[in-house]
Amino acid sequence: MTHQSEAHLLVRVGELPAPAVWNCLGNQLDDESGIWLFDCAPHGQKVLLDRLLQTLLPSARPGVLALALEEPSIGITSVEMLRRLTPLESLHARVHHPWIARDLEHYVSSDIQPIVDLNQSGRIFAYEALCRVSLESGLRLGGGEAIAIARRAGRLIEFDLACQASALTVKHRLLPEGMPVFINAMPNSLMRSDFATHPSFKLMQDLEVLPHEVVIEVVESEQVDDPEALAAACDQLKGMGFRIALDDIGSGYSGLSLLAALRPDFVKIDRALVHGAHNSRMRIGVLEALISMAQRLGCVTIAEGLEDIEDVELCRDLGVGFAQGYFFAHPTPGLADASKFPVFSQTRNRQMRSLIRLGDFLSPGETLSMGASMADAHQLFLRDTALEYLIVLDQGRPLGYLTRKVLNAPGWGPLGRYIQGLEQVLSARVNVHSLLRRLYDVGGRAQPWVVVDDAGRYMGTLVLLGVLDHLLNVGLPPSVHPLSGLPTGPVLRSLIEQRIAGGETLQMVYLDLDHFKAFNDRYGFVRGDAMIKVLAEILRKGFDGLPEAELGHIGGDDFLLVAPAHTPGLQARIGWLIDRFHELAPHLYDESDLDLGYFSTQNGQYYPVATLSVVVVNGQTRPMTDSVMASTRAAQLKRAAKDRMGSVVVTEGDPLSLVERPRVLGQAAWRNALECALATFPEDGAADSIDAWFGRHTAFELVFRLDSEGVQQGANWLNPAMRGLIKRGGDGMNRADRAYFRELRRGQRSYLSSIYVSRATEDFCISLAMPSWHADGALAEVMVGDINLVSLVALAAMPAGVAKRPYARRGRKS
């Protein structure tokens, strides 16, 4: 019996007050429970349901229940009858759209739309299956409209499963072997499932569709009540071989927090962000930030809804890996013909982006008119001890510059004889390649870089760190990870596929950080980035010089080494890099956590200090047909590795090899080397002696001296390579509140800081503070040196004897 033949509605509003107009439409049967009976005869069931819903506030509708009856009967308000009540909104949807209450497989089908590789001239990488509903009337509903009906009818899970079944059938029937299909899944359907018994998983087995050929799209525009449960479900799916995509990023509820929690393989950027983005500086900025975060988390980006060539080229130049939209093909029931895709330029936007506006990277600087006196110059330099030079202007045009050496000259007379010529004068718009060439040619010589407008008038001096950071970011290819500088994404996949296709037998070494998400939650993304950088630099050193080996950054905390199966000494190198990581990683933790040996997060969970899981997929054990098979086998090995506490190396074989690598306690040789080096810093303060010292100890970026109260004595001494990049100021600064001074006084010994981002260089470094003592045991002074991260790893890579020997020749009175 259909709903249309049922002539009465039983409605329960519960404790809510019923709208006054209901007294004109029906009768209240029970004052306490708020039960009403309505006769559908006057206007029909559809009209009555419409009027009832219209009289209710939207916030009240979910709590109102209803039941369609053919005739009222005795016991209409009985418990058994009331149990049959369903939400009024669901009844309304089922009456207006009767197909939603029937067998959905007769109505649901799938169109498919290609997902195109932007880095390989439009090659089809995969297809997304998009649900459609075909009705007896000939009307065809799109996915969004059908989902809205299913949600109102209370059949969202059933509809979701029907769409998945249709998509899997299309994959089996149409798509070539190895080509992935992207399937949409509602978050709530994922969180409630035991996947081994999930209907879609059973259908996959029946159709012989493999997990690595299926990408499950989690719809970001759906509200997620429990992100942790969803993340756990996605982790389980990844362990089974599926890949995960986060759909509609930028359009919905959870946004970046859900992206960080799920760490999906793919991020699909919503059409609302990319359509017309080439005309919006604001949206370009949002896209750059989103793409950068996705790359840091190891996610491949896909732009949805592309229709214009300008947006296609913009997305490609910003680093988006894949795209879909009407520009390439509309969704259809059959496969797309890639030969008919429009041709898009590989160079147009890159040429547009080859000019850089230097006005965004200027400091006004200190200037002096040509008519000023030496006394004026003295006054400016004495007022600002950090000031390195004055730009001399002649009627607004830069003529030259003065350095602090003029303080040694008499404070009277003309400026002319002391003015130095400007070597670097740039127009406000300059070609990127030209600027890079000039930066390379000038090397480490400290001098001002002056920028002028089209009329030659002074605009300011260039902030080199800012422009270098910009050039590095726009200069990195889309398939190079912005943090590690290692290949990732399509380049890494292509490399593996080519070597396998060439008949090579490979070993694939997968390395990842244990409990990295918890570390990020506890310490934040800055220290998280530092840990990634530490591991990347260790891997570079550890695998340097390995013949025919390629190192890549899969993303997030996952790295990969591709090497021939016969590579000698590989296990020894892996052991070495784990030891170096054990030495350096603790400098990213708070001292209190190191004392405990673990840290805790806000949810009360406890995690050990950083360890590594390394798995080796061995092509000699079983052949590898592609990169997906290798990653699937690696995921199985990782489960064995994650079951152990501490760092572990699991190597594929028969039997499986599992080697634990314990942490070795004791002071590392590289720390001794740094302390010996700083102890030999020239006491005379002579420029030549200091430059020679920096030439021997290049790991140090700068050195400064503090008195016994923590006040800096004199300006920073700079490594010549850093001049122009770091200010030489600091004289008179009170640094008593800095951790290195505070902890040194408390512990009465040298102190090595945690790894941090230097405000001077905007790069990761570490500070070493060493005390000198008076004869009576009182603190005399403290020498502090900043060491950059890359040099720190290089020192850690040196054998203990080699690291110590150059620094043991001279002593420093202490």
Structure confidence by residue, pLDDT tens digits, 166-177:
999 999 999 998
Mean pLDDT score of the chain = 82
- State the pLDDT confidence band at 233, using cuts at 50, 70 and 90: confident
Long-range contacts (CB closer than 8 Å, 24 or more residues apart) made by 133-137: 133/99, 133/107, 133/108, 133/109, 134/107, 134/109, 135/99, 135/107, 136/99
- State the pLDDT confidence band at 362, using cuts at 50, 70 and 90: confident
- 508 and 616 Cβ atoms separated by less than 8 Å: yes
First and final C-alpha spacing in the chain: 98
The phi and psi torsions of 552 (rounded to 5 degrees) equal: -140, 165
In this prediction, residues 644-666 reach a mean pLDDT of: 86
Q: Which of 221, 204, 225 is nearest to 213 (CA)?
A: 204
Residue type, 214: V
Count of CB atoms situated within 10 Å of the CB of 641: 22
Q: Which of 425, 447, 552 is nearest to 492 (CA)?
A: 552
Scanning 329-390, the segments in alpha helix (DSSP H) are: 348-352, 374-383
pTM of the model: 0.53
- 783 and 770 Cβ atoms separated by less than 8 Å: yes
- CB-neighbour burial class of residue 676 (10 A; exposed 0-12, middle 13-18, buried 19+): buried
Q: Which residues contact 32 (CB under 8 A, 6 or more apart)?
A: none
Task: Return the pLDDT at 805.
Answer: 36
Q: Identify which of 2-6, 176-180, 235-239, 350-354 has the greatest average pLDDT.
A: 176-180
Q: Which of 182, 59, 68 is nearest to 125 (CA)?
A: 182
Count of CB atoms situated within 10 Å of the CB of 720: 16
Of 27-41, 354-368, 504-518, 757-771, the one with minimum mean pLDDT is 354-368
In DSSP notation, 406-435 reads GGGS-SSS-SGGGPBPPSEEEESEEEHHHH
- CB-neighbour burial class of residue 176 (10 A; exposed 0-12, middle 13-18, buried 19+): exposed
- The structure tokens 């809804």 sit at 305
- State the pLDDT confidence band at 178, using cuts at 50, 70 and 90: confident
Tell me the pLDDT tens digit for each residue of 658-714. 999 888 766 677 888 889 899 999 977 788 899 899 988 888 999 999 999 999 998
Strand 397-403 and strand 389-394: pairing? antiparallel
- 629 and 211 Cβ atoms separated by less than 8 Å: no
* CA–centroid distance for 163 within its chain: 31
Which residues are bridge partners to 394 per DSSP? Answer: 397
Please tell me which residue, 220 or 32, carries the higher pLDDT value.
32
- Rounded to whole angstroms, the Cα distance separating 135 from 143 reads 13
Tell me the pLDDT tens digit for each residue of 574-594. 999 999 999 888 888 888 888
Q: Which of 388, 380, 385, 375 is nearest to 461 (CA)?
A: 388
In this prediction, residues 341-357 reach a mean pLDDT of: 55
- What counts of helices (H) and strands (E) characterise the chain? 28, 37
Q: Which residues contact 725 (CB under 8 A, 6 or more apart)?
A: 464, 465, 761
- Rounded to whole angstroms, the Cα distance separating 199 from 470 reads 50
* CB burial readout 3-35, b (16+ within 10 A) else e: beebbbbbbbbeeeebbeebeebbeebeeeebb
- State the pLDDT confidence band at 122, using cuts at 50, 70 and 90: confident
In DSSP notation, 728-774 reads ---TT-B-TTSHHHHHHHHHTS-EEPPPEE-TTTSSEEEEEEEEEE-
Q: Does 13 score more than 60 pLDDT? A: yes
Query: What is the token pair recorded at 503?
Result: 């008949």
In DSSP notation, 116-172 reads EETTTTTEEEEEEEEEEEE-TTS-EE-HHHHHHHHHHHT-HHHHHHHHHHHHHHHHH
